[in-house]
Amino acid sequence: MKRGTYPVLGCGGKRMKTASLRILDNVIVRPQSRCWMWTSTGKRYGVVAPRGGHGYQLAHRFSFETFRGQIPKGLYVLHRCDRPRCVNPNHLWLGTQADNLRDMVAKGRHRNGTPRPH
Ligand SMILES: [Zn+2]
């Protein structure tokens, strides 16, 4: 991806377009890792927007739901790139808390050996 360009978004309704633009307005795309680094400040890092009057939602979860679809209950949105601020839907995957811990342990164990995929 060239610097300053955004990926072509899939077709969607007006609501999705608005949501995706709201995400893209608040990220800086890192050219090397292609991470979408969330820049907006909020009560906590990653807080994105009011969600239908039911409080707030973390940016990476919001991004996942906008670009990839609904998050099944009980699952976590995890980062392939280990950057909590990254909201690139291609870097996000669904897992359980156990997956999350396993992933952290695995990455920690290989940190000094195996190169990261990206
Ligand atoms: Zn990333």
Give yes or no for a contact between 45 and 96, defined as CB atoms under 8 angstroms apart: no
Q: Could you read off the pLDDT of 92-118 as tens digits, one per residue?
A: 999 999 998 898 888 886 554 445 555
- Compute the distance from residue 87 Cα to the ligand 1 centre, in Å: 7
- Compute the distance from residue 92 Cα to the ligand 1 centre, in Å: 8
- Compute the distance from residue 11 Cα to the ligand 1 centre, in Å: 23
pLDDT band at 13; cut points 50, 70, 90: low
- Compute the distance from residue 74 Cα to the ligand 1 centre, in Å: 22
Residue-level pLDDT at 67? 94
Residue-level pLDDT at 21? 84
**Rounded to two decimals, what is the model's pTM?**
0.68
Q: For 18-22, 41-45, 77-81, which range has the lowest pLDDT when averaged over its residues?
A: 41-45
- Compute the distance from residue 85 Cα to the ligand 1 centre, in Å: 8
Burial-class residue 70 by CB neighbours within 10 Å (0-12, 13-18, 19+): exposed
